């Protein structure tokens, strides 16, 4: 979804971030910034994931939830949860961008603090074939997001345009996470198409039934149709 460090026009924003030999992550217990709405702060886990460039400079800090709500049966939990079992617009976490970036559509995103919310791609002709998966994170500036569990889909779309400054919300692509990759430490991997993807496992509460879901968030990478 994003390539941070839009350095110069000559770099063409083909992947958002300025080129680097490699990227990495590190984790610690850094507290979220004071700008996070209190309702959202209460839902966040203590762990912070720092996304770094090849020189060790922090490009972004991410905090995910302690527990993600889902609507799932015990069989679904056992067989492996998908994003579709999580209500659309659910708050997944918070990200602080330290550098200017671009999203999966090559839209510019200014540095700042954002709430990450789950969104499903519309099933219409304008969106068909633009991404390998139909689930995304929409970024909403923390200053205009109260941190509710969910929002109306129309409202999320509107708030997401405040991050992009265009008529389309700022979006980061999500990849599915197979069961075999659950319950591991956060990991960063480079995938086909120069997509750099952060994968984390999150506890799930489905009406009192406990499980886990993987979140694979594209930090670098753009749609081939962008």
Residue 20: what pLDDT? 52
Residue 225: what pLDDT? 77
Q: What is the rounded CA–CA span in Å between residue 100 and residue 7?
A: 8
Residue 133: what pLDDT? 86
Residue 130: what pLDDT? 59
155 in helix, strand or coil? helix
From its phi and psi, is residue 110 left (phi > 0), alpha (psi between -120 and 50) or beta? Answer: beta
**Encoding tokens for residue 74?**
């015990």
Output the tens digit of pLDDT for each of the chain's 226 residues: 444 433 333 333 333 444 456 899 999 999 999 999 999 999 999 999 999 999 999 999 999 999 999 999 999 999 999 999 999 999 999 999 999 999 999 999 999 999 999 999 876 545 455 567 889 999 999 999 999 999 999 999 999 999 999 999 999 999 999 999 999 999 999 998 889 999 999 999 999 999 999 999 999 998 887 6
User: What sign does the dihedral 152-104-202-96 (CA atoms) show?
Assistant: negative
Give the global pTM: 0.87
């Amino acid at each position: 979804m994003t390539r941070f460090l839009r350095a110069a026009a000559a770099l063409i924003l083909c992947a958002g971030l300025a080129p680097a030999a490699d990227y990495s992550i590190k984790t610690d217990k850094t507290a979220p910034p004071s700008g996070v709405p209190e309702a959202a702060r209460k839902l966040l886990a203590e762990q912070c994931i720092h996304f770094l460039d090849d020189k060790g400079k922090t490009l972004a800090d991410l905090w995910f939830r302690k527990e993600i709500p889902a609507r799932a049966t015990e069989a679904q939990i056992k067989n492996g949860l998908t994003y579709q079992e999580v209500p659309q617009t659910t708050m997944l976490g918070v990200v602080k961008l330290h550098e200017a970036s671009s999203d999966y559509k090559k839209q510019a995103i200014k540095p700042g603090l954002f709430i990450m919310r789950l969104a499903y791609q519309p099933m219409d002709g304008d969106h068909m074939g633009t991404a390998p998966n139909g689930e995304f994170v929409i970024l909403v500036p923390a200053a205009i997001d109260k941190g509710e569990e969910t929002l109306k889909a129309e409202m999320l779309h509107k708030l997401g345009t405040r991050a992009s400054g265009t008529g389309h919300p700022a979006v980061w692509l999500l990849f599915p996470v197979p069961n075999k990759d659950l319950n591991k430490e956060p990991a960063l991997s480079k995938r086909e198409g120069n997509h750099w993807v952060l994968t984390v496992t999150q506890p799930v509460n489905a009406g009192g039934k406990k499980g886990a879901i993987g979140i694979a968030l594209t930090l670098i990478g753009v749609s081939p149709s962008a």
